[in-house]
Each structure stands twice: as structure tokens, then as C-alpha cells.
Amino acid sequence: MRQGSFLSLGPNGFHRIGYSDWGDPDNGRVLVCVHGLTRNGRDFDTLARALSDAYRVVCPDVAGRGRSEWLSVKEDYGYPLYCADMAALLAHLRVETVDWVGTSMGGLIGMMLAAQPGTPIRRLIMNDIGPLIPKAALERIVSYVGDDPHFPSMDGLDAYIREVYAPFGPLTDAQWENLVASSARKTEQGDIALSYDPGIAQPLRATPVEDIDLWAVWDAVRCPVLLLRGSESDVLPAGIAAAMQSRGPKVDYMEIEGVGHAPALMSEKEVSAVRDWFVR
């Protein structure tokens, strides 16, 4: 694994985006993996390692997360900037086409880019996200995003991560340890906080929470899609997943039992499903 970064331009200045880079850097077959709202690109370590023989796998940290710079104007956190940053990533990588894996927020970014004329996205995996997000699920997410808990030691962070991300499904202790390590940020005071800017919550809390309806975007997608759903997910209800298979792009579908929002893409079954769909 290599670490890289580049500058991207937002409404209020430049900011630096970090990414992890796996596989042969000269491989023209590139897979971009983009994480969920409060996570970072290291969530894809297991998947990237498994696919790095077939792809160059690039896992960016969206602005305000992981190794990427925090924005000075918190209102800039949102999909227009995230999409622009990912377009800048593709330009930085000097690639014309990519395949895409997006978990939750990363899936929405991929869907928005795939809906654009002349899109570079050839194939898209949307991990537990759809074009309609229910109000109740959004209220649950907004209730904890930006709380900025601090912990005196990694043990406290470990307990927090295992509780908040329990819907990821049954992970091994080693997988939990990796999630905890990539979620940690050492503060100036010497304690441990989460590795994202609490300010990402400001735009979310600035307006009343309502259903998010992006069906028009979904209908504009033309590339093949693999839709993954945790069987216990509240973010992607079964009815929405069924509707996605009846309109818009050609969809393959897989439901993962015993998992909520969102499948971690770390189990052998999940990794094999992603690999088989892309490599076949």
C-alpha cells in the first residue's frame, strides 16, 4: 500500500485530499473505493488487498475525513464538493475510465458521477444505499454525527467503535482493531478522538430532516450496477432496493444476511461477491 495526496479546489480555497493506493501503479484498470459519511478510505484495506492483483485500487479519504484536510468553511461539506474532489482525483490519476465501489455516501457520490454525460464510471457497486433515503434513517444518523467524543485511551475508542458500527456485521477481532486504528486521531490535549471533522455535521443540521429523493439521478445512470444490501438496513429498505431493480440501469442484487448499514466488505463472502462481479 502507498499513500498519496493532491490539491482540489472548493468554493473557499484549495484543500488537500489523501488516498491509499494498492496494486501496480501502472495498471490501467483502476478501481476507486469511497467510504461512508464518518469513515475513511482505510475501511477498504481488506477489499483492496484482495483485488490488487487485478486492479490498481485507490481509496480516497473524502474531505474532512482520515488524512484529508478539514474545510475551513463547514457549509462547503456536501455532494457538489465531494463530486468535484473525486473528479480531481481521476484527473490526478490520469485515467479515462474507472470502476467504482461506494459505501453509503460513497455510493451516492458514485451514482451522481455515473449519471453525468460522458461519465468515466464503467461499473458501479452501491453498498447499502439507494436514491431514496428515509427520514427516520437520516434522523438516526444526524443524531450521532459530529458529537466529537474524546477518549483517554484506545480502549475507550475501541468500545465506542464496536457499539456504533455493530451494524457492519460480525467482524473478527483483527478487523475491529484495524477499524479502530484507522478511526483514531490524537488531539493536542493528548487524548483520542475520531478521525473526522465534527464540522461535517453542520450542513446536515442546518435544514429540517426529510426524505432524500434522488430517483431522477438514479434513472440517468446507464452503467451496470451491483446493489448490495444488509438485510437489516434502515438506510436502504427492501422496498427501495426492489424498486431500483425495476427502473434505471441494469442491476444485479445481493442481500447480506445478519448485517445492517452497511456491509463492511471484509468477509470472504462479501469480498468474493465484489471480485466475481468485477472480474467476470
Can you tell me the distance from the alpha carbon of 252 to that of 137, in angstroms, rounded to the nearest whole number?
Answer: 24
What CATH superfamily classification does 2-133+208-279 receive?
A: Alpha/Beta hydrolase fold, catalytic domain (3.40.50.1820)
How far CA 31 is from CA of 8, 51, 279, in Å, comes to: 20, 9, 11
Position 280 scores a pLDDT of 75
H helical segments located in the chain: 45-51, 79-93, 105-114, 135-144, 154-164, 173-183, 201-205, 215-220, 238-244, 268-279
For the chain, which ranges sit under pLDDT 70?
none
Position 119 scores a pLDDT of 98
Q: Would you call 170 exposed, middle or buried from its count of C-beta atoms within 10 A (0-12, 13-18, 19+)?
A: exposed
Flag whether the pTM goes above 0.95.
yes
Domain ranges of the chain: 2-133+208-279
Position 229 scores a pLDDT of 98
Position 144 scores a pLDDT of 86
Can you tell me the distance from the alpha carbon of 88 to that of 270, in angstroms, rounded to the nearest whole number?
Answer: 29
Enclosing H/E stretch for 56: strand 56-60
Query: Peptide bond before 262: cis, by omega within 30 degrees of 0?
Result: yes
Write out the DSSP string of 174-203: HHHHHHHHHHEEE-TTS-EEESB-GGGHHH
pLDDT tens, 157-180? 999 999 999 999 899 999 999 999
Q: Of 60, 39, 55, which is closest to residue 274 (Cα–Cα)?
A: 55
